[in-house]
A and B are shown apart, each in its own frame.
Chain A
């Protein structure tokens, strides 16, 4: 190789071969100055932009750090502890922390909530392990058996557990319950709606399109109002629903319409040949969908499904408008406590941080999945 190169580059009449001196390797590391020049000051406009950004950061970051950390108060158990402090009063969060997590759930019963979430976490771990073989069975158990277990743990009324009324549920616990129920209910309903929307039967198709478009056109808050005000009217006199259950019905119906559109995207992406091949094998409609089409379609739209879950998780905050105390609701309620007036900023920052962690985690997970699934698609 080197010979050929040398010959073509320097044809010599003597026929004698002199290899060229190898060039020095390029410097591997780009110095910090060079990096600055390339990335921050590569044109006058960019230089000006960089300076403006630096000035903005200088204006924003130090006050925030001072407020949140340097001047903040962590000690004490009462408002007086924060009287002198210039910065944030995290004492407020510390004192209320357990309420923000569990709402008004009775103190001596909170182990039930912890236990239920521990079961969920331990049960879900194998799903993320590549070597675990029985993922489908475990997933089905988590989807169908776990909710029953969790219901009896949360609500009680059996196995010697005292009943805890849903009015006492609150905080992050309630947020997770609403989001969880929404997720578990909206996926199957959404799949059926998507199948119905692509059905060849006009009546089924029209009903599904009507439902999906109606729900997607109106804001969640009107659906929640409807669930909380009109659901009692729709039911026979005497039948009364729990307030939480009404909100859950609203949230589940709302998110299933969005889920249906995501799943429909996946169904449309499956080539027609797959449908025809399944029919040629003599599979009926449900077998064709269940064994051939849906597994492929759902796999394609997993990122979209996770995005819908993120939206659903953020939307759970709306239940505070119909008077439930989810994480945001309980923070909002704590802010109006006469003993702790004036700490709105601390409360909202804490709640925002709580929601952010969950949503950001889910979006990172969805991006990872997308990359992994995409790798298979790209070949």
Chain B
């Protein structure tokens, strides 16, 4: 042993371990073995799939997207009929998924925020009620809730003739929810432009206000002015165009409602179920986020002479948001993924159109499932990229 060390010092050479004891060599060997096994596994699966597809005489490739689909879809945002192609059907499904997810995210956030704040309320009854809501909703499977809303609640509503009417404008029956349809005239085209101008104006205003605040210490009511811009400009443009909007109200015909915009019960049930379920999780996230801001921060803010509104806006909410946003992101992702349960109640979303009907009609399982998965993968990536960007924007800048 001693001799070894001396000789090492004299010659300067490190004695090499046997190759099978060298961690680096072993790591490379392990990785090669893993890679080879993985590739063999993939080759095995691909080979089997090709053989099976040939035996069953199923075509492969995405040519089927150009073929006439031949089935009807009950709810579509774009023109679609039975003579449209599978590719068109795919877009219908994708848009339906996006529509219900986007609306669900908004509703769930609002509801979750209210319930999360209610759980922190000093009012005992309000706090208890929101706890009960959260504990009941969180612990019942979403699919069960969707089936409940669809089959037990919406199907049990009266026939269109005896619709439940609210203010003679909204009609609820077992065929869905009828709401007035807004029809915009020509002058309304200026409104989106006005919104764009308002948005640019707000960005400039915020920058200017921040610079002035930093140099002179003068605060500027940014939020109020921004809101005013955002609402006022489009309103002005709208009025200048002669208020070119007409509402088409649903009206009671002899047997059914006529006119207006009818939201099918599948859509209403899915939206209700998703929002109510996700809101329970968001409420817990909001509560945890607000509790995470230490009380000393509030006291320090008051000690500095901030008003209650300023304290919330400048001290509590920015710190709470930092805790809230990452789990909130994953709830939004969950909601989007959960919208695929639409297939159980017959809302024509992406999964039920592509992985359901299209798969059954064409038999091209690999392509249909891959297409569906690719869409969800892209959606997840987009949402998480956006949220990571926002999170970085909000993150604590430590000196």
> Which A residues are within 8 Å of any B CB, using their own CB?
39-40, 42, 46, 49-50, 53-54, 57, 200-204, 207, 214, 216-222, 225-226, 229-230, 232-237, 310, 314-315, 317-318, 320-321, 328, 332, 335, 344-345, 348, 351-352, 355-356, 359-360, 363
Contact = CB atoms under 8 A, between A and B. Distances in A.
Task: Pick the most buried of A54, A219, A232, A318: most chain B CB atoms within 10 A of its CB.
Answer: A219
Nearest to A214: B377
B369 A229 contact: yes
Interface in B335-368: 337-338, 340-341, 343-344, 351, 355, 359, 365-366
A219 B337 contact: yes
A355 B151 contact: no
B141 A328 contact: yes
A252 B126 CA distance: 40
Q: How big is the B interface, by class?
A: 35 or more
Nearest to A363: B139
7 closest A-B pairs by beta carbon, nearest first, are A359-B139, A39-B124, A217-B380, A219-B337, A314-B141, A203-B31, A219-B340
Contacts of A222: 340, 351, 355, 369, 372-373, 376
A54 B49 CA distance: 62
B388 interface: no
Contact of A201 (B31, B49, B123, B143): B31
Contacts of A315: 141
A317 B369 contact: no
Interface of B: 27, 30-31, 34-35, 38, 45, 48-49, 51-53, 55, 121-126, 129, 135-136, 138-145, 147-148, 151-152, 155-156, 337-338, 340-341, 343-344, 351, 355, 359, 365-366, 369, 372-373, 376-377, 380-381
B126 A53 contact: yes
A50 B53 CA distance: 65
Q: Chain B: interface secondary structure?
A: helix
A46 B143 contact: no
9 contacts: A203-B31, A204-B34, A207-B34, A218-B337, A222-B351, A225-B359, A225-B369, A345-B152, A359-B138
Contacts of B373: 214, 218, 222, 226
Contact of A42 (B53, B122, B129, B148): B122
Q: Chain A: interface secondary structure?
A: helix
B325 to A, nearest CB: 18
Contacts of B139: 310, 314, 355-356, 359-360, 363
B302 to A, nearest CB: 18
Contact of B152 (A40, A200, A344): A344
A142 B365 CA distance: 38
Given A50-B123, A233-B365, A359 B140 contact: yes
Given A317-B143, A360-B139, A221 B341 contact: yes
A315 B340 CA distance: 13
Contacts of A216: 380
Contacts of A53: 123, 125-126, 129
B144 A355 contact: yes
Contacts of B147: 328, 332, 348
A65 to B, nearest CB: 15
Nearest to A203: B31
Nearest to A315: B141
A233 B377 contact: no
Contacts of B372: 218, 222, 225
A23 B122 CA distance: 31
A363 B140 CA distance: 12
Nearest to B149: A348
A99 to B, nearest CB: 18
A39 B381 contact: no
A54 B125 contact: yes
Contacts of A207: 34, 38
A40 B48 contact: no
Given A42-B122, A222-B372, A222-B373, A233 B141 contact: no
A317 B144 contact: yes
B377 A344 contact: no
Contacts of B38: 207
A327 B321 CA distance: 39
A268 to B, nearest CB: 15
A342 B136 CA distance: 24
A219 B38 CA distance: 24
Contacts of A217: 376-377, 380-381
B144 A351 contact: yes
Contact of B340 (A49, A57, A221): A221
B55 to A, nearest CB: 6
Contacts of A225: 351, 355, 359, 369, 372
B148 A221 contact: no
Contacts of B369: 222, 225-226, 229-230
Contact of B144 (A50, A236, A352): A352
B144 A344 contact: no
Contact of A314 (B142, B148, B355, B366): B142
A222 B359 CA distance: 12
Contacts of B148: 344, 348, 352
B135 A355 contact: no
Given A40-B123, A42-B122, A348-B148, A317 B141 contact: yes
B376 A218 contact: yes
Task: Pick the most buried of B27, B139, B341, B376: most chain A CB atoms within 10 A of its CB.
Answer: B139
Given A222-B355, A352-B140, 17 more contacts: A42-B122, A49-B123, A50-B123, A50-B126, A54-B125, A201-B31, A203-B35, A218-B337, A225-B351, A230-B365, A233-B49, A314-B139, A318-B143, A328-B141, A348-B148, A356-B136, A360-B139
Nearest to A316: B141
